[in-house]
Amino acid sequence: MEWVFAVLAGVLAASGVYLMLARHLLQVVFGVTLLSGAASVVVFVSGRLSAVAPALVPAGAEAPPAGAANPLPQALVLTAIVIGFGLAAFALALTVAAHRRLGTADPEAMREAEPRAPETPRAEAPAAESPAAEPPREAAE
């Protein structure tokens, strides 16, 4: 059974990396989401898979029955999913905000913080209207 999950983790990670290499932010966000899915599968499988019994403590007992599934990886994965969900939501919101404000979804084309043009001072560069030559933070003030 484990090998199915191992392959699944590999496929998820590979797809995630492939998407992250795309020049569109939305695909990058989806790529990160797939990658975190791959990590969750790794955590889940490494806790050993068993289909014997759910990790429930019967009434009156103090521990789950022998052979019950390991509950800790499930708890870890649950936490990781919740965190990943929050981060993905933030990343999506950031993508939308960046797209609206910067007018592009291509991370390569986003050069506000690191202008591609040589760092000529504005006084010597009258063409400062073009966004590429605009020095960082000046727009915010």
Partner 1 sequence: MTWLLAAPLLIPFAAAVATLLAPRVGVPPRLVSLIGSVLHLGAALALGERVLRDGVIAEGMGGWAPPVGIVLVADPFSALMLLAAAGLGLAVAVFALADIDPRREAAGWHALFQLLLAGASGAFLTGDLFNLYVWFEVMLIASFGMMTVGGSKAELDAGVKYVALNLVATVAFLAAIGLVHGVAGTLTLADLPGRIDAALAADPAVAPALGAAALLLLTALGAKAGLFPLFFWLPASYHAPSAATTAIFAGLLTKAGVYAMIRVFTLVFPEGPALDVLAPVAIATMVLGVIGAAAHKEVNRILAFHIVSQIGYVALGLALGSALALAGAILYLLHNIVVKANLILLAGVARRLTGSHHLSRAGGLYLVAPGLSALFVVAAFAMAGVPPLSGFWGKLALTRAGLEAGDWAAVAAVLGVGLFTLYSMTKIWLQGWLAPHPEGRTRPLAALPRGAQVAFVAPTAALTVVTLGLGLFPDMPFRAASAAAGALLDPAAYVAAVMGAPPETALAAAGGAAP
- Binding stretches for partner 1 (CB under 8 A): 20, 25, 28, 32, 35-36, 38-40, 42-48, 72-73, 76, 79-80, 83, 86-87, 90-91, 94-95, 97-98, 101-102, 107, 110-114, 119, 121-123, 131, 135-137, 139-140
Residues 6+ apart with CB under 8 A from 106: 23, 24, 25
| Residue 79: count of CB within 10 angstroms of its CB | 12
Tokens of 24: 């569109």
Q: What is the torsion angle, in degrees rounded to the nearest 10, for the CA atoms of residue 54, residue 55, residue 58 and residue 61?
A: 150
CB 3, min distance to partner 1, A: 15
Name which of 53 and 81 has its Cβ closer to partner 1: 81
CB 59, min distance to partner 1, A: 21
Identify the residue whose tokens are 């019994």: 53
Greatest Cα-to-Cα distance within the chain, rounded to the nearest angstrom: 81
Tokens of 121: 């001072």
Name which of 53 and 89 has its Cβ closer to partner 1: 89
Residues 118, 127: Cα–Cα separation, whole Å: 13
Name which of 51 and 140 has its Cβ closer to partner 1: 140
CB 30, min distance to partner 1, A: 12
CB 138, min distance to partner 1, A: 8
